[in-house]
């Protein structure tokens, strides 16, 4: 005669113990349990990443929260500034970049394209410049704008 209790215990050992083990492993890697390893998608290891699409190390201020590094996004420690890049498609444009005079592009992201007038030297006043030019806000003595001269040359440029 078969012992019912003994058969029942064997079945219990065969199915319940593996089931308990699977449950322990499952709970260990879900939000119900401990934090899983970085990159497991459970959201416990999310970092703020800052966008820098042109690689000039100035972010345009765009961010993402993610456990893994998205393309064109960097951690704060790898960037010079976390915002302020007014053209994140052009690495020559960012705060502190050298401004090119009056080219229609705001290289240093200060909100304006610097447009300082260029003056051409014509000391004797005959309408012909000797080729010396100067970039300054106000007209220096013996210098004239291009529109006032018959001829000018771009040989020498002096920044005031
Ligand atoms: Ca950038
Ligand atoms: Ca840029
Ligand atoms: Ca400019």
- Tally Cβ neighbours within 10 Å of residue 21: 10
Does residue 80 form part of some domain?
no
Which residues are bridge partners to 119 per DSSP? 134, 145
The total domain count for the chain is 2
Residues in the 5 Å CB sphere of ion ligand 2: 54, 56, 85, 87, 90, 93-94
Does residue 19 form part of some domain?
yes
Does residue 17 form part of some domain?
yes
Does residue 100 form part of some domain?
no
Does residue 48 form part of some domain?
no
Does residue 106 form part of some domain?
no
pLDDT of the residue at 152: 80
CA of 136 to the centre of ligand 2 (A): 28
Burial 118-146 (b: 16+ CB within 10 A, else e): bbbbbeeeeeebeebbbeeeeeeeebbee
CB under 8 Å to 92, separation ≥6 — which residues?
Answer: 56, 107
Does residue 87 form part of some domain?
no
Question: Full-prediction pTM beyond 0.75?
Answer: no
DSSP letter for 64, please. Answer: E
Q: Which ligand is nearest to the CA of 79?
A: 1
pLDDT in tens, 48-57: 999 999 999 9
Does residue 23 form part of some domain?
yes
pLDDT in tens, 83-117: 999 999 999 999 999 999 889 999 999 999 988 88
Residue 145's domain comprises: 118-159
CA of 7 to the centre of ligand 1 (A): 70
Q: Which ligand is nearest to the CA of 86?
A: 2
């Amino acid at each position: 005669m078969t012992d019912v209790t003994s058969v029942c215990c064997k079945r219990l050992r065969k199915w319940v113990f593996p089931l308990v083990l699977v449950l322990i492993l499952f709970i260990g890697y879900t939000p119900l349990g401990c934090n899983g390893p970085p990159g497991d998608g459970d959201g416990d290891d999310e970092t703020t990443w800052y966008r820098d699409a042109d690689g000039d190390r100035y972010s345009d201020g765009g961010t993402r929260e993610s456990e893994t590094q998205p393309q064109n996004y960097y951690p704060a420690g790898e960037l010079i500034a976390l915002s302020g890049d007014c053209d994140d498609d052009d690495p020559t444009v960012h705060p502190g970049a050298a401004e090119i005079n009056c080219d229609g592009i705001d290289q240093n992201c200060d909100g304006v394209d610097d447009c300082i007038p260029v003056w051409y030297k014509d000391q004797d006043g005959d309408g012909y410049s000797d080729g010396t030019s100067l970039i300054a806000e106000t007209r220096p003595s013996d210098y004239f704008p291009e529109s006032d001269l018959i001829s000018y040359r771009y040989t020498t440029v002096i920044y005031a």
